[in-house]
Amino acid sequence: MAVLVTGGAGYIGSHTALALCDRGEKVVVLDDLSSGFDWAVPPAAELVVGDVSDQALVSQLIVEHGITEIVHFAARILVQESVGDPLRYYLGNTVKTRALLETALAHGVTRLIFSSTAAVYGEAQVEIIPEDQPTAPINPYGRSKLMSEWMLADVARAHGLAYVVLRYFNVAGADPAGRAGETRRVATHLVKVASEAASGVRPGVEIFGTDYPTRDGSCIRDYVHVSDLASAHVAALDHLRAGGANLTLNCGYGRGFSVKEVVDVVKRVSGVDFPVKLSGRRAGDPACLVGAADRIRTELGWTPQLDDLETIVRHALGWEERLASRNARVK
């Protein structure tokens, strides 16, 4: 028996694979390495390079490894890119998820955890967003994920699929022990970008939008530590194995920080006063995304251990130091 982790060579996927391996699970990672890295996969997991929509390959993995559950991360995640190239996102996030579901059901795999996003809410009209808030995504990324959520619900009614959807807010930080972290060819997440600026990897940080209806004019987001998010996936897996009901849950801490506040924390923790450029708004960015966090704690018994912005930033900065050291050795 094994767990298939799609996109397990990426940021959140590799941390979740690590959490599963830490407790002795047999983990198979399927990743096309278009944005992930083979060295990010935990040594205890088996990496297979391939596409989640390759039904012959997924069938082979399910049979050979005795796959009983799937944790599905593989996706495209850049909001601005989705606005410019929507068909790429509907293919990568919706069409390929449909193919994965069809293959899983054909082989009797009926437990799945799905990586979704707070982008499904769009411009919410409440300060703290509950799961029953109407979904109204304002970009193709959010719509492509919401369509996959609809598919899961329909398949569950028709075929008995058991699932947990986790709607992430802003994920940041790195494994406290330094075994994993955020590595991207082009960084877009704020804590990562600011940590790179503090580490000298980039010349500074650009803040997009200073005229939002927020306390300081910049966007507000709910920042969740990636290791806490990984533990939520483990809790979701246990929930499904115990016969728990299908769930759609926010994954956040229930409070938000503005872009300017995050930049200030990175400067303070790092001790580096890097340049900051103020620019206009980007297409597809809502002013505020903060998720109600009560339901996930109640339903999954999830207890975050790293709910602190300075801790998140310290771990992100520590990962940048490890990346610099690794890159120096590779050279």
**Catalytic site residues?**
141
**Residue 278 is encoded by which pair of tokens?**
């103020």
Burial class (CB in 10 A: 0-12, 13-18, 19+), 150: exposed
Q: What share of the chain is helix, strand, coil (3-state, %, to 5)?
A: 45, 20, 40
Helix H or strand E segment including 233 = helix 226-241
If DSSP codes are grouped into helix, strand and coil, which group holds residue 269?
Answer: helix
Question: Is 31:183 a contact under the CB 8 Å cutoff?
Answer: no
**Residue 190 is encoded by which pair of tokens?**
């704020």
* Sign of the Cα pseudo-torsion (57, 60, 64, 67, in order): positive
Provide long-range contacts, Cβ within 8 A and 24+ apart, for 318-321: 318/174, 318/178, 318/181, 319/174, 319/175, 319/178, 319/181, 319/182, 319/195, 320/181, 320/195, 320/196, 320/198, 320/199, 320/201, 321/199
List the 111-117 sheet strands across, edge first: 46-49, 27-31, 2-6, 67-72, 111-117, 162-168, 247-251
